[in-house]
Structure 1
Amino acid sequence: MLTITLLCNLGMSTGMLIDRIKEAAEAKGISVDVDAAPFDKANDRLDHTDILLLGPQVRYHMPRFQKEYGGKIAVIDTIDFTDYALVNGEKIFANAFAKYQSVNP
């Protein structure tokens, strides 16, 4: 099972993306565990995350997460602002999964 964590300020705005990302993954036959969390309360989940996606509002934390989790999490990326605003779970998942596959063939 692929574990995806979405980070934002409070862990609520990315919550809308959870279902859309799950649907996109399931449509491709990929089992996922997707959850959203505020960036300052995500440490417990990050220990078993495969893909970490930062919402546009917290993208400035990217260097911190890359430094701290770069060797532990396969993909650390930001969510495109337009895809985030449109709740485009299919595109967000496709982009993240392609990056995941490139480091885990």
Structure 2
Amino acid sequence: MKKILLCCSAGMSTSLLVTKMKKVAEEKGIDVEINAIALELFEENLPNYDVFLLGPQVKFKKTDFQKKADAFNKKVDVINMIDYGTMNGAKVLDFALSLIK
């Protein structure tokens, strides 16, 4: 099972996106766990997920988070602003899966 974690500041939009991503994964038969957390919980979740996506509003954290994720050989990237704004669960799911080694 692949594990994807979305990180953001407030959480409302990201939680909705997680719901849409889960729906797409279920429809496609993809075995995946997807959750969302606040930025402050990133480090404690590093060992538990395969890839980390940041909401566009917190893209400034990418470099810092990637340095920490490198120790676990994991990727951190920013969700495309248009995909985030339109809540395109399919595109964000595909993007996340493409980052997992």
TM-score, normalising length from structure 1?
0.86
Instruction: Kindly state the Cα deviation for residue 69 of structure 1 after the two structures are TM-superposed.
Output: 0.8
Deviation track 1:84-103 (CA, whole Å, cap 9, x = no partner) reads 01000100111221232xx3
Alignment check: 8 A CA contact 1:11 1:36 kept = yes
Structure 1 partner of 2:27: 27
For residues 27 and 73 of structure 1, do their structure 2 counterparts lie closer, same or farther at Cα, with a shift above 3 Å needed? farther
Partner of 2:15: 15
User: Structure 1 residues 94 and 82 mapped into 2: Cα distance closer, same or farther (>3 Å)?
Assistant: same
In 2, the alpha carbon distance for the partners of 1:60 and 1:47 equals 22
Please report how far the alpha carbon of residue 19 of structure 1 lies from its aligned counterpart in structure 2 after TM superposition.
Answer: 1.2
Is 1:49–1:73's contact at 8 Å kept on the other side of the alignment? no
Q: CA deviation at 1:2?
A: 1.1
In the TM superposition, residue 73 of structure 1 has moved relative to its aligned partner by 4.9
Query: 1:39 is aligned with what amino acid?
Result: L
Query: What secondary structure, in the 3-state scheme, does the structure 2 residue paired with 1:87 have?
Result: coil
Distance 2:75 2:24 in 1: 18
Does the CA contact (< 8 Å) of 1:9 and 1:38 recur in 2? yes
Q: Tell me if the contact between 2:24 and 2:89 (Cα under 8 Å) persists in the aligned partners.
A: yes
| Aligned equivalent of 2:38 | 38
Identity %: 36
- The count of residues paired between Structure 1 and Structure 2 equals 101
- What is the Cα-based RMSD across aligned positions, in Å? 1.5
Q: Give deviations 1:14-69, integer Å, cap 9, x for gaps.
A: 00011111122223322111111111123322221101000000001000011011
Match of 1:87, as an amino acid?
M
Runs of 4+ in 1 over 4 A off after TM superposition: none
Question: Greater share of helix residues, 1 or 2?
Answer: 2
CA contact (8 A) 2:7 2:37 kept: yes
Report the TM-score when normalising by structure 2. Answer: 0.89
